[in-house]
């Protein structure tokens, strides 16, 4: 489904070069559930941003669904993001003035569907993450775990091939963390490909596969039980 070949991301910082990603080779298949781990500064977010087409590499290739992403312009990358990729962030990134339902419907604005169809699809996604009763709540009227569930519903509303999550439980307590990971596990059992970054072994244990980064390189890539 996606493939990285000798991928590099370098930053020139005055006299020195920061090798945020330094020759990554990686294949992730449909239905995989991958946790990316590693110390602070090891390149996790840089890798996620490139996988999510939010950033472009300095070198190497990124092939997504058979298409080389390198060389695409910003509009083409935006189209790929909208169609193939869903994002969940540590800080939820919901729009505060909008209800849960409106937040979830947002990515459908460019789908060409009518208002009612969008609202109905958003409602179905919220039901899927157990928030049927919270559709008309605004983010400030919800708990952290509920906000993250809204963000998951929003990420999946376009039915993306890959769900990308950068520390999705980083702002949540341990009970809520497990609730969110149960949702990820269920989605993955239903076939959703998931790639997430986490610092916590307990969170990574939910994944099928764990990749360890150090200094922009993969030092370990193994299946979990």
Ligand X SMILES: Nc1ncnc2c1ncn2[C@@H]1O[C@H](COP(=O)(O)OP(=O)(O)OP(=O)(O)O)[C@@H](O)[C@H]1O
Contacting residues toward ligand X, per CB under 6 A: 11, 13, 18, 20, 38, 40-46
User: What would the DSSP string read from start to end of 55-93?
Assistant: S--SEEEEEETTEE-TT--HHHHHHHHHHHEEEEETT--
**Closest distance of CB 119 from Mg ion, Å:** 34
Q: Which of 201, 162, 225 is closest to 28 using CA atoms?
A: 162
212 binds, among ligand X, Mg ion, none (CB under 5 to 8 A by kind): none
Per CB under 5 A, which of residues 120..159 are in contact with Mg ion? none
Angstrom distance (rounded) from CA 170 to CA 67: 32
**Closest distance of CB 45 from Mg ion, Å:** 3
Query: Is 19 or 178 the residue whose CB approaches ligand X more closely?
Result: 19
Query: Is 11 or 110 the residue whose CB approaches ligand X more closely?
Result: 11
Query: Is 36 or 163 the residue whose CB approaches Mg ion more closely?
Result: 36
158 binds, among Mg ion, ligand X, none (CB under 5 to 8 A by kind): none
**Closest distance of CB 211 from ligand X, Å:** 12
Which residue from 45, 99, 148, 188 is in contact with Mg ion, where contact means CB under 5 A? 45
Query: Is 83 or 199 the residue whose CB approaches Mg ion more closely?
Result: 199
3-state secondary structure of 28: strand
Angstrom distance (rounded) from CA 26 to CA 142: 38
Q: What is the largest CA-CA distance in the chain?
A: 56
Query: Is 107 or 216 the residue whose CB approaches ligand X more closely?
Result: 216
Q: Tokens at residue 140, please?
A: 């400030």
**Closest distance of CB 181 from ligand X, Å:** 19
**Closest distance of CB 68 from Mg ion, Å:** 26
Q: Which of 60, 83, 66, 50 is closest to 2 using CA atoms?
A: 66
Q: Tokens at residue 211, please?
A: 């990749």
Query: Is 160 or 216 the residue whose CB approaches ligand X more closely?
Result: 216
| Alpha helices for 115-224 (secondary structure H) | 115-128, 144-156, 174-189, 201-204
**Closest distance of CB 134 from ligand X, Å:** 30
Instruction: Please give the residue ranges that form the binding site for Mg ion (CB under 5 A).
Output: 44-45
């Amino acid at each position: 489904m996606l493939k990285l070949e000798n991928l590099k991301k370098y930053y020139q910082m005055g006299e020195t070069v920061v090798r945020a990603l330094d020759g990554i080779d990686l294949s992730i298949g449909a239905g995989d559930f991958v946790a990316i781990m590693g110390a602070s500064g090891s390149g996790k977010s840089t890798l996620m941003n490139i996988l999510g087409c939010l950033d472009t590499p300095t070198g190497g290739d990124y092939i997504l669904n058979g298409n080389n992403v390198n060389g695409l312009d910003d509009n083409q990358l935006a189209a790929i993001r909208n169609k193939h990729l869903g994002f969940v962030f540590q800080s939820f990134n919901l729009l505060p003035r909008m209800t849960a339902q409106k937040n979830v419907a947002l990515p459908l604005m460019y789908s060409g569907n009518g208002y009612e169809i969008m609202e109905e699809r958003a409602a179905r996604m919220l039901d899927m993450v157990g928030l049927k009763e919270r559709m008309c709540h605004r983010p400030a009227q919800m708990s952290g775990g509920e906000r993250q569930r809204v963000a998951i519903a929003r990420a999946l509303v376009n039915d993306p091939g890959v769900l990308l999550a950068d520390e999705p439980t980083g702002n949540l307590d341990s009970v809520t963390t497990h609730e969110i990971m149960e949702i990820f596990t269920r989605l993955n059992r239903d076939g959703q490909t998931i790639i997430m970054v986490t610092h916590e072994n307990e969170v990574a244990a939910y994944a099928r596969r764990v990749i360890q980064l150090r200094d922009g390189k993969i030092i370990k890539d193994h299946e979990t039980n």
